[in-house]
Structure 1
Amino acid sequence: VVIEEFRQRYLNQPYGDQSMLLRALAYERHPYRWATIGIEPAHIEQATLRDVQAFYRRHYRPGNAILSIVADLDEERMLRMAEERFGSVPPGDAPPQEPLPVEPPQTAPRRMEVERDVPATTISIAFHMGARTSRDFFRGDMTSDLLAGGDSARLVQRLVRERRLVASANAYVSGSVDPGLFVVTAQLLPDTAVEQAEAALWEELALLSREAADPYETEKVKNRFEANTLFGELNVMNKAMNLGFYEMLGDLPLINRETELYRSLTPDELIEFSRATFRTENSSTLIYKAKK
């Protein structure tokens, strides 16, 4: 049943294996190269009961858990209630963990083309970038917002509306705890050649490496980030999840510094990030072609 669900969710759905192919292309050693559920059904088929039990004992134990509480409660009462409910639960032993393999620097471009039964061809280009707690992450996040943060962003305005090369375009950072990926994507229109759209994406990335963004453009992006952050905190569940996430990162106060960090980014930093990141030898390109 689990294996069949895997096939339905990831392999038999349109675009279901696209992100998995891109991960495997961009990473060679780090476990980020596969999704949590694995790359193929064999990863589930070959898992033994002992493997599953060992994984459960390693990770799903109270000593490895983070409790986030967001409510209109007195602090002392909240702590007392948590102690009453969880204080008697043994933390569980922490098995020794081997360090994760470090992904080596990419020194040559990688490329993959596959054909699938999908309505449109998609181009995805991934670049290695910094970890979630590094300043590089915020530079990458802001750069992705300049490219695709809303209807007035560069990729939407220039490639979708003005040049009419693609039906949609996006840019995002993976947000991985360890060094992650900066990804740009474009879904092609029927009359657009892959080479034409790919060249247009690289033109936009090259422009970021040469010219500083307009102050109005960067201020608009910063305002959008701050507004999204503030509105996100209005939701109780979001607040609880964010507290748990930043505690897991090992830097809980970062939750209150992110807007300030984002606002402190300078145009020169964005150029520096673009030059260091958007290099041909640091790129992994996936052409996900629609069957003719």
Structure 2
Amino acid sequence: MKLLTFWGCAFLAVFTAQAQQVEFTEFDLDNGLHVILHQDNSAPVVTTGVMYHVGAKDEAPGRTGFAHFFEHLLFEGTENIARGEWFNIVAANGGSNNANTTQDRTYYYETFPSNSLELGLWMESERMLHPVINEIGVETQNEVVKEEKRSRIDNAPYGKIIYATGINKYVFDKHPYANSVIGSMEDLDAAELQEFKDFFKKYYAPNNAVLVVAGDIDVAKTKAMVKNYFGAIPSGEEVARVDIKETPISETITATEYDDNIQIPAKLYVYRTPSMKERDAYILEMISSILTDGKSSRMYKKMVDQDKSALQVLAFTRPQEDYGTYIMGALPLGDTELSTLATAMDEEINKLKNELISEREYQKLQNKFENNFVSSNSSIQGVANSLARYYMLYEDINLINKEIEIYRSITREEIKEAANKYLNKNQRLELDYLPTPESK
């Protein structure tokens, strides 16, 4: 049986390495735009994506929410795409598109049938070169963003946890990660039109972006089209990157947040962790899986199945370019006190600190991350996103092929060491997340 297990694991490792190998070509235009091309002719689709190195952390004090606002604003239209027509053009050509913003970057993409590759390149070049930023667009998207905030945060159960608006402000004192990605509606209301134009000019230039084209393409022809559509776009001034160091947390932070939309409270522990590029960030991701990934995970088995003290348990990392956060918590079942959940979570942390995980648990963990690796780039959209992200935030595109090697190399001893290094009481926020009292 052990021999079969060995050969099964060996086969999975070889199959994974072969199946996930992503070939790519990269080059720079004279204006500083970095371009990555990935040819995969297995299906007649192509994704064109542009990632800009601007996120919520780049916003000026008193003007939060700009990066996320531009995620919406840059669909308003361009000098050659009439206002309100962006999505119609995409749909009429059998495509789909979207955009998303984090603390560190903003990403726009279209996926079309491959015979519409040139259309995708033209539209993204239009977004970069000819956006129309005017009062009517700003006012329209201001209302869109306000509604998004109401639906996803203000009126959504546990919205402050999901979008970190009730967390980051406690664990970051100096770094702009303290602010939420969606920002302040008051800041957006107070901004003048020229401020939006200045923000675009500063951050949405080719030398602050990476263009990825992935899918059913011919590399030589695509390279020529990229140069044709993007080569003449002028570069912007060099962007000064945020470089703010936080003082280590040395005493427990205690806080209480209230939510009008919940009836069941939550107990949360939040730790500040290192950059997503650090090896420890990968180890902490593995610790999350050990604690709460699936019904066989430690916290689920102990708190949900065995003790029946928790309705739900959670542990996950929020990896970011400068610092990350590690969040773990639980929702009580019935009349269970939050202090009981806290004790149970601390017991699981102490087990990680004092005992190596078993060989069986370690192998199960490795299998999970092998499977995650296989599925992470199973679509052309996923590959395009990964190529852009690894280039911009990790400065190593080939992580798309070799990141699994990092997980494979993590030892049981390192898992124990990371728990001792980061998951300490004097280095965390202890948050009681409660239903709003009726009298409040």
Report the TM-score, using the length of structure 2 for normalisation.
0.63
Q: Equivalent of 2:231, from 73, 77, 87?
A: 87
Larger radius of gyration: 2
Equivalent residue number for residue 269 of structure 1: 414
Q: Which amino acid aligns with 1:49?
A: L
CA distance in 2, matches of 1:32, 1:222: 31
Equivalent residue number for residue 283 of structure 1: 428
1:234 matched to 2:361? The reply is no
CA distance in 2, matches of 1:59, 1:288: 36
1:15 matched to 2:125? The reply is no
Q: Which amino acid aligns with 1:110?
A: I
Q: Aligned residues: percent identity?
A: 26
CA distance in 1, matches of 2:408, 2:363: 8
Q: Equivalent of 2:329, from 181, 185, 199?
A: 185
Greater shift in the superposed pair: 68-77 or 269-278: 68-77
Q: Is 1:127–1:181's contact at 8 Å kept on the other side of the alignment?
A: yes
TM-superposed deviation, 1:65: 1.6
1:143 matched to 2:284? The reply is no
How many residues get paired?
A: 290
TM-superposed deviation, 1:209: 0.6
Equivalent residue number for residue 156 of structure 1: 300
TM-superposed deviation, 1:211: 0.4
Q: Equivalent of 2:398, from 253, 266, 278?
A: 253
**Residue correspondence of structure 1 range 1-292 to structure 2 within 5 A:** 1=143, 4-5=146-147, 6-18=149-161, 19-38=164-183, 40-90=184-234, 92-97=235-240, 99-117=242-260, 118-249=262-393, 250-291=395-436
TM-superposed deviation, 1:174: 0.5
More strand by share: 2
1:225-282 CA-partner distances (Å, limit 9, x unpaired)? 1111112222110011000100112111222221111011111111110001011111
TM-superposed deviation, 1:10: 2.3
CA distance in 2, matches of 1:262, 1:98: 29
Greater shift in the superposed pair: 11-20 or 200-209: 11-20
CA 1:89/1:72 → structure 2, altered by over 3 Å: closer, same or farther? same
Q: Is 2:207–2:238's contact at 8 Å kept on the other side of the alignment?
A: no
Greater shift in the superposed pair: 77-86 or 228-237: 77-86
TM-superposed deviation, 1:130: 1.4
Q: Which amino acid aligns with 1:252?
A: I
Q: Is 2:166–2:257's contact at 8 Å kept on the other side of the alignment?
A: no
Greater shift in the superposed pair: 12-21 or 278-287: 12-21
Q: Which amino acid aligns with 2:341?
A: A
Q: Is 2:206–2:236's contact at 8 Å kept on the other side of the alignment?
A: no
Secondary structure (helix, strand or coil) at the match of 2:182 reads coil
CA 1:96/1:266 → structure 2, altered by over 3 Å: closer, same or farther? closer
TM-superposed deviation, 1:72: 2.9
Q: Is 1:120–1:190's contact at 8 Å kept on the other side of the alignment?
A: no
TM-superposed deviation, 1:60: 1.5
Q: Which amino acid aligns with 2:196?
A: V
TM-superposed deviation, 1:148: 1.4
CA distance in 2, matches of 1:113, 1:32: 20
Greater shift in the superposed pair: 9-18 or 127-136: 9-18
Relative contact order, higher structure (CA 8 A, sep 6+): 1
CA 1:203/1:97 → structure 2, altered by over 3 Å: closer, same or farther? same
Greater shift in the superposed pair: 48-57 or 248-257: 48-57
TM-superposed deviation, 1:133: 1.0
1:172-193 CA-partner distances (Å, limit 9, x unpaired)? 1101111211110211112110
Q: Is 1:3–1:44's contact at 8 Å kept on the other side of the alignment?
A: no
Q: Which amino acid aligns with 2:181?
A: T
Greater shift in the superposed pair: 128-137 or 249-258: 249-258
CA distance in 2, matches of 1:188, 1:21: 19
1:2-36 CA-partner distances (Å, limit 9, x unpaired)? 57423443223322223211111111111111112
Q: Is 2:273–2:326's contact at 8 Å kept on the other side of the alignment?
A: yes
CA distance in 2, matches of 1:8, 1:204: 35
Secondary structure (helix, strand or coil) at the match of 2:153 reads helix
TM-superposed deviation, 1:291: 4.5
Q: Is 1:116–1:290's contact at 8 Å kept on the other side of the alignment?
A: yes
CA distance in 1, matches of 2:239, 2:151: 35
CA distance in 1, matches of 2:150, 2:286: 36
Q: Which amino acid aligns with 1:47?
A: A
TM-superposed deviation, 1:95: 4.8
Report the TM-score, using the length of structure 1 for normalisation.
0.93
